[in-house]
Structure 1
Amino acid sequence: MLLDLFFIGLVITLYPLPIMAFVLVLSAPRGVWKGFAFLLAWFACLVAVIAVVILLTGGEPPPPRSPPSDAAHAAKLAIGIGLVLYGEHRRRRRRKVPTSPAPSRSDTSGGGSLTSRMDQVTVWSAAGLALLLQPWGMVGAGAATVVEADLSRSGSYLALLAFCILATSSLLAMELYMVCAPDRAGLALTNLRAWLSGHKDPAVVVTCLVLGVWLAGRSLYELTR
């Protein structure tokens, strides 16, 4: 369980789509407060999902090879296959798209309009954005892994807390950087946004394929051993 939670949390925190949105939120007026609302909603989602799973299991892992245990592994297998298919779909679609020419003035104005729309985001809508951009398939894989948690051991609480913190760590680091050094953070986030704009699709493909293969392989092993 620990290794799976660590890997899933690491992929969630590196997933580029929420990071791109969070950079825009931080760049907006009162971005620190909006980013804080985004962070709270993001973290609350992870905690809520884990709490629901614990309520259903009672904090006791199902016996190996039991129907609940097999159902959890089957869910992870389905999520893994889905991530692989999605990553392959994004990869094929990217190969069919011709190489983009140098950004034109209209492209620049489009980016500016997006930024201006993000400037109008409120604290509440920033929190709602966190709910929409949560990679729910990956979070679902984490929930299926939490089924194995044994809350009679104190280490399980630490593992679940570490998963939530790890899955939030990239956003938390940007928020703290913005609070402690706003000028340098603004420049760094601008450069990060520019890099992600050109590498978003490859990053999505890699994260989905890697996590998908991992989940599918681990689940098949557990179901067939």
Structure 2
Amino acid sequence: MTLDMILIGLAITLHPLPAMALILLLSGDRGVRKGLVFVLAWLACLVLVIAGVLLLTGGDPPKKHSAPSTAAVALKLAIGVGLILYGAYKQRKEKRPREEPAWLGRLRNASGWSAAGMAVLLQPWGMVAAGAATVVNADLSQGLTWLTLMFYCLLSTSTLLAMELYATFRPARAEARLQALMRAITTHQDQAVVVLSLAVGLWLTGRSIFELT
């Protein structure tokens, strides 16, 4: 479980769209405060998803090859195949520099509530669902499980948290560097989505087939 959670957490934190949203929030009025709301809402969403799964399982993983265990593996397989198909679709699209979407630009003037809502909407839900399916196997009687889950949440939030802290303590430097990062992400976001989707999709698919056989 630990390796799966680390890989999924890395893919979530490297997803370009949430990073773009946070940069735009930070560039607006009271940006640091709204950015903090965004980061906290993002983290809370991840924690709530994990907590929901643990409430269903009671922190006691189902036995291997039982119906619940097989269903969780089948879900991961479906998510993996879906991510592969999505990555292949994005790869086949015409490659050209991307303009900033109009709706994304409105985040500069977003309210705190809007920032919190966007943190939920912009979660890469396919990967979050893969993480949730993996948490089905979490055994809360083991200390390593608690560490893995906490590390997963922090890892999935690490990019956003780093930008928020940078903007808070180095505002003058952060503005120019975050805008440069925004331009780079806007140009290469499709490639990043393709790589992340294919990497996680292939891993989940191969791992799930192995677990089912």
Q: TM-score category by the smaller chain?
A: over 0.9
The answer for unaligned runs of 5 or more in structure 2 is none
| Percent of matched pairs sharing the same residue | 56
Distance between the aligned counterparts of 1:113 and 1:158, measured in 2?
37
Q: Which residue of structure 2 lines up, in the alignment, with residue 81 of structure 1?
A: 81
User: Which SS does the other structure have where 2:137 is aligned?
Assistant: coil
Over 3 Å counting, the alpha-carbon distance change for 1:113 and 1:183 in structure 2 is farther
Aligned to 1:63: 63
Q: Distance in 2 between matches of 1:30 and 1:205?
A: 34
The CA distance in 2 between the partners of 1:112 and 1:94, in whole Å, is 20
Distance in 1, Cα, partners of 2:4 & 2:85: 20
Deviations 1:62-113 (A, max 9, x none): 1111111111110000000000101111111135xxx56xx9xxx7xx8899
Rounded to whole Å, the distance in 1 between the matches of 2:103 and 2:2 is 43
Q: 2:76 is matched by which residue type in structure 1?
A: K
What does 1:152-167 correspond to in 2, within 5 Å? 152-167=141-156
Look up the SS of the partner of 1:94 in the other structure: coil
Which SS does the other structure have where 1:150 is aligned? coil
Relative to structure 1, the CA distance from residue 111 to residue 216 in structure 2 (aligned partners, 3 Å threshold; closer, same or farther) is: closer
State how many pairs are aligned: 213
2:14 alignment counterpart: 14
Query: What is the match of residue 44 of structure 2?
Result: 44
Q: Is the 8 A contact 2:107 2:115 kept in 1?
A: no
On the 8 A contact 1:88/1:209 being kept in 2, the answer is: yes
CA–CA distance in structure 2, aligned partners of residues 114 and 135 of structure 1: 16
Matched residues in 2 for 1:199 and 1:167: separation?
20
Task: Give the AA of the match of 1:42.
Answer: W
- Partner deviation per Cα, 1:110-141 (whole Å, 9 max, x = no partner): 889964x3232011100001011001110000
Asked if the contact 1:34/1:122 (under 8 Å) is kept, the reply is: yes
5 Å-filtered alignment, 1:193-212, equals 193-212=182-201
The question of 1:136 aligning with 2:125 is answered yes
Moved more, 125-134 or 154-163: 154-163
Query: Who is 1:127 aligned against?
Result: 116
Give the 3 Å change call, closer, same or farther, for CA 182–64 of structure 1 in structure 2.
Answer: same
Write out the 4+ residue segments of structure 1 that deviate beyond 3 Å after TM superposition. 110-115
Max Rg structure: 1
1:176 to 165, 179, 182: 165
CA separation of 1:80 and 1:39: change in aligned 2, threshold 3 A: same
Letter in 2 for 1:120: N
TM-score by length of 2: 0.95
The answer as to whether partners of 1:94 and 1:201 remain within 8 angstroms in 2 is no
The CA distance in 1 between the partners of 2:126 and 2:203, in whole Å, is 14
